[in-house]
Amino acid sequence: MNIVSEFLEKVTTIVESTAATNAAKVAQAISPTFFAAIALYVIYLIYEITYAQRDILMNEVTKNIGAFALVGAFTYSAPYYSQFVIPFVMHAGSDLSAAVTGGSGTATSVDNLWNALSTNLNNFLDTSMSIYGKFQIAEKMGVYLVWGIGYIGGMLLIYYTTVFLTLSTFMVGILLSAGILFICFALFSSTRNMFTAWVGSCLNYILLNLFYSISFSFLISFVESVVPVNGDIKLSIVVYFFLITIISIFLIEQVGTLCSTLTGGVGINGLTSAANGFGGKVASGFMRASGLRSFTNGFASKMPNPFFNAGSRSASALVQGLNRGSKLKAG
């Protein structure tokens, strides 16, 4: 069951087609303003060239004609933007990932890991349930505990992988939808830095996919070396897998920060808190619905805390001793 790869394939197809449609609409909407700005810019250049030195006339004319032709080719004269720019940015990260890791991408690797893990966990559950009798409740609870921890770790890995790969795809789709506008900004010196920032952001999301694939290849290799293929799963193995899942969550945030630092673009590392916040709200809602939050709060308020009480008594004794010493010195 390839949940992540099939979902991301659909998301990529929809985002790519929608970005091409949105880019055409943006180009049509800004065309009057763009051509008016070009006319004013040409008038300004003519004025500058007229009162400048004669030997730089051909250099300025050649440079500006080349810039106009290049921008026009990617915006209005031919569908180069939708045919070449959008597919390149959308698929460059996955192509680089496949070339570096030697696989078919992060999503497929995670799907393969999930299939192997679920198969081993189910075999472990069936084998253990056939061994223990009806009245061996404690042993069966231990088996279900191991089985549940393994599935929770796998679901967390699926959740965070899907969320961040999907968010990166949506973000690059937003960038490409308004890409023609930023390409037009490359003509004018006052707005050229906005075009540079747009290129840096596109490069950021290309490298983000690559770095995620490399990071998850490390994690998947470790998990595959830990999880046995014969279904002989123990509690320590499941705990290892759960710890690796938690580490991968923090690794996702650091990879986003690294990409943003290297490319100067706006990364999605800030969305880690959003994903964590969503998970926290889901857990909070579950606890509120099941009554666990009230139970834990009441239990914590009723039960004494010996460490806190001991610390409070030690701090009070220390303060009294210091006050007594200061009084003796003063006397």
> Which token pair is 198?
């747009």
Place of tokens 């231990």: 142
Q: How many residues does the chain have?
A: 331
d(CA 65, CA 304): 80
Q: What are the respective helix, strand and coil percentages of the chain, to the nearest 5?
A: 85, 0, 15
H-run or E-run covering 54? none
Beta strands in the chain (DSSP E): none
Residues 271, 257 contacting (CB under 8 angstroms): no
Residue 75: per-residue pLDDT: 75
Rg of the chain (C-alpha set): 30
Residue 318: per-residue pLDDT: 42
Residue 14: per-residue pLDDT: 92
Residues 176, 198 contacting (CB under 8 angstroms): no
Residues 49, 60 contacting (CB under 8 angstroms): yes
Q: What is the DSSP string of 209-269?
A: HHHHHHHHHHHHHHHHHHS-SSS---HHHHHHHHHHHHHHHHHHHHHHHHHHHHH-S--ST
Place of tokens 């890409």: 179
> Which token pair is 277?
């916040």
d(CA 171, CA 250): 21
Chain Cα centroid distance, residue 237: 27
Amino acid letter at 171?
Answer: M
d(CA 162, CA 27): 32
Q: What is the DSSP string of 14-47?
A: HHHHHHHHHHHHHHHHHHHHHHHHHHHHHHHHHH
**DSSP summary character for residue 278:** H
Q: What angle do CA 65, 66, 70 make, to 5 degrees?
A: 120
Residue 296: per-residue pLDDT: 39
Global model pTM greater than 0.95: no
Tens of pLDDT, residue by residue, the chain (331 residues) = 677 888 888 888 899 999 988 888 888 888 888 788 888 877 877 777 777 655 556 676 777 778 877 887 777 765 788 888 899 998 888 888 888 877 666 677 777 777 777 877 788 788 878 877 777 788 788 788 878 887 887 788 788 878 888 888 888 898 899 888 898 888 877 888 888 888 888 888 888 888 877 877 777 677 667 666 555 667 777 777 778 777 877 777 788 778 877 776 555 545 555 555 555 554 454 344 444 344 334 434 444 444 445 444 544 554 454 455 444 444 4
Task: State how far the alpha carbon of 33 is from the alpha carbons of 22, 184, 275, in Å.
Answer: 18, 11, 40
